[in-house]
């Protein structure tokens, strides 16, 4: 990792030409950067001042812009931070960067500002991950999920759980460390009850985590069916863009083509793929192989059939799971009477649609939204969507289970499991320290008087 003593700079407002670009500088030389580039002292803390920005070597004006000064520790990184809001032209930024380089600052690496904020204790790991997710969020649900982590709600939940554990651990440790005090060993009824409660809370959080992951990463939907049934046409219709090639020749699509869609706030990834059939050549065979692989991994499969052949091919049937949806495309080719009869034959869940008209699109999107909601749930509570968090919760759960089943005279093992549980939780927010344990022992007990 790069030297954390360096003063770093970066565009914080995103690349490309823009009305205004925000350039942040963090580190010991930030104040000097303002002095050199504005030929003046930094403005009062957290106050925007309009300044001429000049090249310190030549005195030539680079731009005119707002300058802000956030002295340590009251900044995002906890270090001295300078902010230049300049015009977002490439030449302005190039000149500004070259001046910053000339006074000994260097470009920041990806995530380096946030890493410094973490190192300085300004944010914890869960908050840093929430921030990363918020920056990547494309839909309202992703935004809500990320905000709960970034805002510290997740950390607060973890910390409350961890503190509860540490309190129980403190009692158990006291019994081990001070045998002369004749304290009863094991877990008392109250501790046992709160451990059981904690284990239930974590079990519930784990149950919701699969849904949270779907919300964070997107709900993947595979369009499967025989060749030529209109998978690509439906993809184009549903996404409102002509992304996929459509043709009357069976076997048109070979690559897996994905399009992302915001459906009622949830991120959906629709994948169009090769029709499932005996492949005509090696390229199509590879397409079919990829299609099957992708279909198996998807959260949902839309099996598409057409009136000329309403029974799906065997390859498609074998991929189906109970939650999947059946769509009869090209319903425009049927008269009203035939459509009704075919719908009846296909069963109650089948959706009649047409890529030629708008028929059935609303029903299809509605059915998709219902599926994603059922799987993802809502963001009414803190949700642990990342594999790292889920793994830590599972470890906690394992240690809690062992602690709850520890027998009499096994206080050492009990303490160790409680410690492991607390440490696993602490890894989620990245705040693991043993100092808290000592604090609790000495604040809650008066042993030795």
Ligand X SMILES: Nc1nc2c(ncn2[C@@H]2O[C@H](COP(=O)(O)OP(=O)(O)OP(=O)(O)O)[C@@H](O)[C@H]2O)c(=O)[nH]1
**If binding is defined by CB under 6 A, does position 377 make contact with ligand X?**
no
Query: Min. distance of Cβ 225 from ligand X in angstroms?
Result: 6
Please report where in the chains the tokens 């973890």 appear, as a residue: 158
Tokens read off for 313: 């091919």
Our CB check for ligand X shows the closer of 106 and 277 to be: 277
Our CB check for ligand X shows the closer of 195 and 288 to be: 288
**What phi-psi label fits residue 326: left (phi over 0), alpha (psi between -120 and 50 degrees) or beta?**
beta
**If binding is defined by CB under 6 A, does position 326 make contact with ligand X?**
no
| CA–CA gap between residue 153 and residue 432 (Å, rounded) | 18
Q: Which does 375 bind (CB under 5 to 8 A by kind): ligand X, Mg ion, none?
A: none
Query: Min. distance of Cβ 366 from Mg ion in angstroms?
Result: 24
Query: Min. distance of Cβ 351 from ligand X in angstroms?
Result: 12
**If binding is defined by CB under 6 A, does position 241 make contact with ligand X?**
no
- Find the part of the chain contacting ligand X (CB under 6 A) among 95-103, 130-138, 330-338, 432-440: 330-338
**If binding is defined by CB under 6 A, does position 363 make contact with ligand X?**
no
Task: For residue 54, report the phi and psi dihedrals to the nearest 5 degrees.
Answer: -125, 155
- The pattern of x and - marking residues 218 through 237 that bind ligand X according to CB under 6 A reads ---------xxxxxxx----
According to CB under 6 A, which residues from 246 to 305 bind ligand X?
246-248, 250-253, 274-275
What is the b/e burial string over 30-61, where b = at least 16 CB atoms within 10 angstroms of the residue's CB? Answer: bbbbbbbbbeeebbeeeeeeebebbbbeeeee
Query: Min. distance of Cβ 125 from ligand X in angstroms?
Result: 44
Query: Min. distance of Cβ 365 from ligand X in angstroms?
Result: 16
Q: Which does 26 bind (CB under 5 to 8 A by kind): ligand X, Mg ion, none?
A: none
| Nearest residue to 158 via CA among 423, 373, 360, 434 | 423
Our CB check for ligand X shows the closer of 215 and 302 to be: 302
**What phi-psi label fits residue 182: left (phi over 0), alpha (psi between -120 and 50 degrees) or beta?**
left
| CA–CA gap between residue 415 and residue 418 (Å, rounded) | 5
Q: Which does 332 bind (CB under 5 to 8 A by kind): ligand X, Mg ion, none?
A: ligand X
Please report where in the chains the tokens 């925007």 appear, as a residue: 48
Q: Which does 229 bind (CB under 5 to 8 A by kind): ligand X, Mg ion, none?
A: ligand X
What is the b/e burial string over 212-227, where b = at least 16 CB atoms within 10 angstroms of the residue's CB? Answer: bbbbbebbbbbbbbbb
Burial of 97 by CB count in 10 Å (0-12 exposed, 13-18 middle, 19+ buried)? Answer: middle
The answer to whether residues 226 and 316 touch, using CB atoms and an 8 Å cutoff, is: yes
Our CB check for Mg ion shows the closer of 252 and 389 to be: 252
Our CB check for ligand X shows the closer of 148 and 292 to be: 292
Q: Which does 233 bind (CB under 5 to 8 A by kind): ligand X, Mg ion, none?
A: ligand X
Sign of CA dihedral 73, 77, 82, 85: negative
Tokens read off for 332: 């425009």
Q: Which of 191, 329, 389, 397 binds ligand X (CB under 6 A)?
A: 329
Query: How does DSSP assign 93-125, residue by residue?
Result: HHHHHHHHHHTT-EEPPTTHHHHHHHHTTSS-H
**If binding is defined by CB under 6 A, does position 354 make contact with ligand X?**
yes
**If binding is defined by CB under 6 A, does position 155 make contact with ligand X?**
no
- Find the part of the chain contacting ligand X (CB under 6 A) among 116-124, 142-150, 329-337, 343-351: 329-337
Count of residues near ligand X by CB under 6 A = 23
Our CB check for Mg ion shows the closer of 157 and 254 to be: 254
Query: Min. distance of Cβ 230 from ligand X in angstroms?
Result: 3
**Terminal CA-CA length for the chain:** 49
- Residue ranges that bind ligand X, judged by CB under 6 A: 227-233, 246-248, 250-253, 274-275, 329-330, 332-333, 354-356
């Amino acid at each position: 990792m790069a030297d954390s003593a360096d003063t770093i700079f970066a565009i914080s407002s995103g690349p490309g030409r823009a009305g205004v670009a925000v350039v942040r500088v963090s580190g010991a030389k930030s104040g000097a950067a303002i002095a050199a580039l504005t030929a003046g002292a930094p403005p009062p803390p957290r106050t925007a001042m309009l300044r001429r920005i000049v090249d310190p070597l030549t005195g030539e004006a680079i731009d005119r812009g707002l300058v802000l000064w956030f002295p340590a520790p009251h900044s995002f990184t906890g270090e001295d931070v300078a902010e230049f809001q300049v015009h977002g032209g490439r030449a302005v930024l190039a000149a500004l960067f070259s001046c910053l380089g000339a006074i000994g600052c260097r470009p920041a690496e990806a995530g380096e500002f946030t890493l410094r904020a973490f190192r300085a204790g300004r944010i914890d790991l869960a908050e840093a991950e929430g921030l990363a997710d918020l920056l990547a969020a494309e839909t309202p649900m992703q935004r809500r999920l990320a905000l709960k982590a970034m805002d510290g709600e997740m950390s607060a939940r973890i910390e409350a759980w961890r503190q509860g554990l540490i309190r129980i651990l403190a009692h158990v440790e006291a019994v081990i460390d001070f045998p002369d005090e004749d304290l009863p060993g094991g877990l008392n009824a109250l501790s046992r009850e709160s451990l059981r409660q904690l284990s239930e809370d974590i079990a519930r959080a784990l149950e919701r985590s699969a849904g949270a992951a779907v919300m964070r990463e997107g709900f993947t939907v595979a369009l499967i069916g025989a060749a030529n049934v209109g998978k690509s046409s439906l993809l184009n219709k549903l996404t409102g863009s002509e992304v996929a090639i459509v043709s009357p020749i069976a076997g048109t699509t070979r690559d897996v083509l994905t399009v992302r869609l915001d459906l009622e706030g949830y991120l959906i990834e629709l994948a169009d793929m090769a029709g499932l059939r005996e492949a005509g050549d090696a390229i199509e065979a590879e397409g079919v192989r990829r299609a099957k692989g992708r279909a198996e991994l998807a959260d949902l499969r839309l099996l598409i059939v057409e009136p000329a052949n309403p029974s799906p091919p065997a390859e498609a049937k074998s991929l189906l799971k109970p939650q999947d949806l059946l769509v009869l495309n090209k319903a425009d080719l049927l008269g009203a009477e035939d459509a009704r009869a075919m719908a009846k034959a296909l069963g109650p869940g089948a959706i009649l649609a047409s890529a030629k008209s708008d028929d059935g699109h609303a029903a299809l999107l509605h059915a998709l939204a219902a599926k994603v909601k059922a799987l993802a749930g809502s963001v009414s509570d803190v949700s642990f969507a990342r594999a790292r968090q889920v793994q830590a919760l599972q470890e906690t759960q394992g240690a809690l289970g062992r602690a709850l089943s520890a027998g009499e005279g096994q206080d050492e093992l009990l303490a160790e499991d409680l410690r492991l549980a607390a440490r696993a939780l602490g890894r989620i927010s990245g705040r693991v320290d043993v100092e808290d344990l000592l604090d609790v022992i000495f604040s809650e007990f008066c042993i030795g008087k």
